[in-house]
Structure 1
């Protein structure tokens, strides 16, 4: 059973239009304000399978894609959009994080005239949030401290009433963003990131030893499994499914493997410790993709994955010198290692049929972009693709969509767009969101002929 960011209708859209080959400490967040819109207009009643696909933008909305793909901008200037969900009728739901003082809560978006752009926008919900999923007829929404849901009503854009609280009291601070994945059997997996970089009592202080044992591991730095339909669960009532994963925010269910996978944000700031150079800090550790079998232990904070030696090394806060493995043998190895500090913010296994066979069941990863690769240029700010077959990575990753930052040597504070969220549309299109410009793209395959 695949992740239900959408209850997918597999038939491809007809009458695909040709496209142009474009290249090319925060203040308290404000609540989302209602955006004026014609509230009574229904979605186009024509089924998605019979709608002609809208034309792509001549410049693909400013991003660069592989040959045969094109993009249009569904909506822009929405605020700090994180994760997305797309309903079977094409309505788009977006979580807002409140980054840089922007709005919080959720947005519902609808295209009523079939041009591909959302002409109706309505705000609902509350709280700084990242996770947004559709599962079993419910819209799940994850503020930093909880998971809530609304029953969806066919034809209605915004869910009615107050949400039902499914999980409450999740720890906040540090890596507080919540992501979710569903196994199709009633299980909901939730990422709970670490509070600190490496479990030091004084966070991010060179020379300060790590706490041993790390007390965070009881409630953080792992993935918890909950009952997707049981109200008012506490974290203690869930199951700590996987541990030792610093911040596995890029999280999705893989049907072929029968387990969730996560791509974790690796630790920062190795430079300054004995045996660790600035170059090592820039290119280490890898952003690890984990297969999350029950009981997986990724080794954080004691260990990190060195892509140069392809080994788990002992962290300097626990006596590591850049060569010693110490207690790390036996910790879960990544099934794939992405470049350091790219910041994986979402993972999506492609279950649609619109894209060519090469992409079927493969992993798309939205990389938010690095801030700490100095003295080397910052990297990431893209959507990467990793082929999968039979629930296992096949080959190496490639950059699928780039050009989001729109500036040379982008920095987090100068990048115009930073990818954060992924979803599949009912026709198999790939939706991508960013939390700086507040833009949502829809990417389609139109062929190379």
Structure 2
């Protein structure tokens, strides 16, 4: 009889617990407050594209370099000359984004000029081809949605391209890809946003990706990067630095161009934040992750290390590791700012120098400037700088993708 009572009690307790669980599951959740809308923000914006002029030798006098440096033209007529990759023997791979091809250039006779007979097309039919990197005798080339790989011959020739990795985001507004093999043996590639200030469902947009050595797997290394094409690892510390382009149409000075320390798993804020975790007043809240204010969200992101003039459009960067320049330049960085188009006074159109002190970046200042100038009431320009690379003799090379010019900067000031 006692057994039956215990069983009945157990049944009642079980039923009561089941009813309680069911009630808990069906009970309405506690309402969460909706973030109140922000006041509408408006910006005074200007579309100003300086009049584009073809390159001519008499324009060289307009260009300025620091005292002790000399600027020379190494080649002309290169078309949409974008990224540069210098090989140990002095051969130079050059990508041409609009033409969708890769060329191999080499100053065979050592006269400081690359004539037509010293140039050859080595790859073609690659949509929006841009960044290049070398590993194990193979050339890796980043195009719009595909990274290609090709064997390199001693004369610079390449074999038939093979797909290394595929299925990357569409180009949209930002088709230029940045790419380098990292010191850890993985390939790092940056893919910009397809629009100005809105996230899309594709999680790989506006990110830096880390790709396995066989190309079969990849991860989002860092996010919230609108368009980080120029990046690289400091030669001493191994820290990864990258230059990010800010959004357009937000006024003359917002947002600034950023120099960031790129770290794994970090969110750099685009499109909601800029600079040192500043909320962008011109970006709608509709895409905000989580029900938080813009300020709360930005506080959780990674802020910039240094800022530069808005809309200057950093497009490539390289560390200087040679000794041809004075000692202060060793292990510092050069960045190509292609130039603005939506600012009342143009910014960029220059090669800038990032000075380092105790292996930490301190300032960004113009190094080669003068491509853009005011003529009466009109702004004019005769160069959109693009690729930048260290040459085998320690001089600095950079391209102009508008007139197809390859420039070279040497130090000639004597005592270093």
Normalised TM-score (structure 2): 0.78
Aligned counterpart for 1:337 among listed residues 293, 307, 310: 307
Equivalent residue, structure 1, for 2:269: 299
Measure the CA separation in 2 of the matches of 1:181 and 1:388: 22
SS at match of 2:180: strand
Equivalent residue, structure 2, for 1:172: 170
Equivalent residue, structure 2, for 1:198: 197
Deviations 1:226-248 (Å, cap 9, x if unpaired)? Answer: 12x415x3xxx211000001111
Output aligned runs, 1:60-99, within 5 Å.
Answer: 63-98=63-98
Equivalent residue, structure 2, for 1:105: 101
Equivalent residue, structure 1, for 2:365: 398
Does structure 1 retain, via aligned residues, the 8 Å contact 2:274–2:303? no
SS at match of 2:112: coil
Does structure 2 retain, via aligned residues, the 8 Å contact 1:60–1:70? no
SS at match of 2:381: coil
Farther off after superposition, 184-193 or 136-145: 136-145
Deviations 1:272-308 (Å, cap 9, x if unpaired)? Answer: xxxxxxxxx1011111111111112101112123xxx
Does structure 2 retain, via aligned residues, the 8 Å contact 1:194–1:216? no
Does structure 1 retain, via aligned residues, the 8 Å contact 2:188–2:209? yes
- Structure 2 residue 208 is matched with structure 1 residue 223: yes
- Give the superposition deviation at 1:112: 2.0
- Structure 2 residue 279 is matched with structure 1 residue 313: yes
Does structure 2 retain, via aligned residues, the 8 Å contact 1:313–1:326? no
Measure the CA separation in 2 of the matches of 1:59 and 1:68: 20
Measure the CA separation in 1 of the matches of 2:242 and 2:376: 28
SS at match of 2:298: coil
Equivalent residue, structure 2, for 1:363: 333
SS at match of 1:325: helix
SS at match of 1:134: strand
Equivalent residue, structure 2, for 1:352: 322
- Give the superposition deviation at 1:146: 1.6
- Give the superposition deviation at 1:326: 4.1
Farther off after superposition, 287-296 or 58-67: 58-67
Aligned counterpart for 1:378 among listed residues 346, 361, 370: 346
Deviations 1:160-197 (Å, cap 9, x if unpaired)? Answer: x2123222121123212111122233111101100111
Does structure 2 retain, via aligned residues, the 8 Å contact 1:181–1:253? no
- Give the superposition deviation at 1:89: 1.3
Does structure 2 retain, via aligned residues, the 8 Å contact 1:145–1:172? yes
Equivalent residue, structure 2, for 1:258: 238
- Give the superposition deviation at 1:111: 1.4
Question: What count of residue pairs does the alignment treat as equivalent?
Answer: 348
Measure the CA separation in 2 of the matches of 1:221 and 1:411: 35
Measure the CA separation in 2 of the matches of 1:428 and 1:384: 17
Measure the CA separation in 2 of the matches of 1:410 and 1:266: 27
More helix by share: 2
Calculate the aligned-residue CA RMSD, in Å: 2.5
Measure the CA separation in 1 of the matches of 2:103 and 2:243: 26
Could you say if the C-alpha distance between residues 230 and 151 of structure 1 is closer, same or farther in structure 2, counting changes exceeding 3 Å?
same
Equivalent residue, structure 2, for 1:436: 402
SS at match of 2:252: helix
Could you say if the C-alpha distance between residues 114 and 77 of structure 1 is closer, same or farther in structure 2, counting changes exceeding 3 Å?
same
SS at match of 2:89: coil
Deviations 1:65-114 (Å, cap 9, x if unpaired)? Answer: 1111112211112111111011111111110011xxxx221111121221
Measure the CA separation in 2 of the matches of 1:343 and 1:430: 20
Measure the CA separation in 1 of the matches of 2:178 and 2:336: 13
Output aligned runs, 1:208-287, within 5 Å.
Answer: 214-216=199-201, 218-227=203-212, 229-231=213-215, 233=216, 237-270=217-250, 281-287=251-257
- Give the superposition deviation at 1:60: 6.0
Measure the CA separation in 1 of the matches of 2:366 and 2:410: 16
Does structure 2 retain, via aligned residues, the 8 Å contact 1:371–1:411? no
Equivalent residue, structure 2, for 1:424: 390
- Give the superposition deviation at 1:403: 2.1
